[in-house]
Structure 1
Amino acid sequence: MGDGSGDGTRESQLVHTLVRLADTLVDTYDVVEVLQTLVENCVSLVDAQAGGIILSDQGRPLEVIASTSEETRLVELIQLSAGGGPCVDCITSGVVVSVPDIATLPDRWPLFRERAEQGGFAAVHAVPLRSRGTILGSLNVFWSAPLRLDPESAAVVQGLADVATISILQERSLRESELAREQLQHALQSRIVIEQAKGVVAFQLDVGVEEAFTLLRDHARSHGERLSDVAARVVARELDV
């Protein structure tokens, strides 16, 4: 996998991705938008079908902060509801959890296995977002066919997980724990508003929630606005996209 087809080799795509993400890490960057962009690029780089990021905010309930599809979000939400699954176990254990063939799982995670198979997923690779011994969440990648991830692809996912951690904390956040907590809390609150806005747009335009999310992102990008700000205005009925 990752044979370098398309617009260039995987190496050049990875460099482009890192440069693009670095450009977004400015004082006013939108954490949700950065993580969404990161997980989308990760999926493309390792020839996966979907991906997502779960965040933990120091004792608060785990939250799905980014996902590439509604099916991915639902698979991750069922794990949060059940209190277990490869992505949740990755966070609680702080180590990589890789499942090459979900169908062969024992009865350890029955709800996850059932929902993943319903969503068309056959393999998953979850990597912890780690900062100085603290686990902030996990980057999770899904495939539609059984797959044992090769070392090079695993390294790509790990590298992007490290970038995700940096995008959450940055150097100043590493020095100021209070700021780190505020950024994480803001990200989680922003995601709630974004989910509400997706529902509003989906209802108003009679479209699926994934298309509604695309419309919200397109509007934010074309107008140079933060995704969370656009979502808040949509929920308040101050904006139609």
Structure 2
Amino acid sequence: MTREQRLGRVFVELADSLVDDFDVIDLLHLLCDRSVELLQADAAGLILADQRGLLHVMASTTEEARLLELFVLQNDEGPCLDCYTSGQQVANVDLDEVGQRWPSFYAAATAAGYRSTHALPLRLRGQTIGAINLFCERRSTLSEEDLDLGQALCDIATVALLQERAIRSSEVLAEQLQGALNSRIGIEQAKGVLAARADIPLDVAYALMRDYARQNHLRLSSVATDVTTGAILPADLQPTKKS
């Protein structure tokens, strides 16, 4: 499959997710996954602002990326924060050159094995509601075409989050983002519960819950609740082996 064909499928996949009452968390994870895939990054983390303007880590492709984004928020520095504050891309960042600009982020990112990073805003009509950070284990340089592609993916997700009803009413947007945050907390708890019960890594636990939700046309937050309460057991989440 050519890159153009893959790109077309990704945009269709994103568009197909925009049904009524769509799953915000699943959309954000899909954005992270496809951005990593198409822009040849190694990991991604996404932050989103709540109704009070407080930033939260809402999606990531790996546990390491999630922890690094949490570190960024706790230390109030890094390209993702600059991207969110300015509403502008902060791309092609060679970590060896930014130690003085973001000393804490530099130390944490290089310790995690990353050499470069890119941050793209989730924005619409001058309103920035979040940012996605791509992490690369090598020195990576994105072309203007690559950046336009990554921004287009972010723009689709932003439009989905804001929608007409949210654009008309800030209260609806606030409720949507708060609902996503509440869902994320429940999903993180369920991920830990499943990882402990099944003795598997956190990333694997999340992937099992997400695959189960998609295969059974369920909301990820509902699956997380059932995992936490024991209504769904680890064995129920294992993929069915084909004979």
Aligned match of 1:3: none
SS of residue matched to 1:173:
helix
SS of residue matched to 2:32:
helix
TM-aligned CA deviation for residue 205 of structure 1: 0.6
Aligned match of 1:75: 68
Aligned match of 2:232: 239
For residues 131 and 100 of structure 1, the distance between their equivalents in structure 2, rounded to whole angstroms, comes to 24
TM-aligned CA deviation for residue 204 of structure 1: 0.4
Deviations 1:124-157 (A, max 9, x none): 1111111232210002211111122111111111
Aligned match of 1:26: 19
The aligned amino acid for 2:179 is H
Aligned match of 1:158: 151
Aligned match of 1:206: 199
The aligned amino acid for 1:72 is A
Aligned match of 2:120: 127
Q: Which of 101, 105, 123 is the equivalent residue of 1:108?
A: 101
For residues 95 and 65 of structure 1, the distance between their equivalents in structure 2, rounded to whole angstroms, comes to 20
Q: Which of 210, 215, 234 is the equivalent residue of 1:217?
A: 210
Which deviates the most, 165-174 or 208-217?
Answer: 165-174
For residues 173 and 39 of structure 2, the distance between their equivalents in structure 1, rounded to whole angstroms, comes to 30
Q: Which of 145, 152, 157 is the equivalent residue of 2:138?
A: 145
SS of residue matched to 2:20:
coil
Identity %: 45
1:88 and 2:76 correspond:
no
For residues 53 and 186 of structure 2, the distance between their equivalents in structure 1, rounded to whole angstroms, comes to 18
Q: Which of 156, 162, 168 is the equivalent residue of 1:169?
A: 162
For residues 126 and 28 of structure 2, the distance between their equivalents in structure 1, rounded to whole angstroms, comes to 21
1:192 and 2:181 correspond:
no
The aligned amino acid for 1:228 is S
Aligned match of 1:5: none
Q: Which of 174, 177, 189 is the equivalent residue of 1:181?
A: 174
1:228 and 2:231 correspond:
no
For residues 100 and 110 of structure 1, the distance between their equivalents in structure 2, rounded to whole angstroms, comes to 14
1:45 and 2:23 correspond:
no
Deviations 1:161-183 (A, max 9, x none): 10110121122221222211111
When residues 224 and 37 of structure 1 are mapped into structure 2, their CA distance, relative to the original with a 3 A threshold, is: same
SS of residue matched to 1:166:
helix
User: Is contact 2:51-2:178 (8 Å) kept?
Assistant: no
User: Is contact 1:100-1:149 (8 Å) kept?
Assistant: no
SS of residue matched to 2:172:
helix
TM-aligned CA deviation for residue 60 of structure 1: 4.2
The aligned amino acid for 2:157 is A
User: Is contact 2:51-2:177 (8 Å) kept?
Assistant: no
Over the aligned positions, Cα root-mean-square deviation in angstroms equals: 1.4
Deviations 1:211-235 (A, max 9, x none): 1111111211122111111112222
For residues 27 and 177 of structure 1, the distance between their equivalents in structure 2, rounded to whole angstroms, comes to 18
User: Is contact 1:35-1:66 (8 Å) kept?
Assistant: yes
TM-aligned CA deviation for residue 236 of structure 1: 2.7
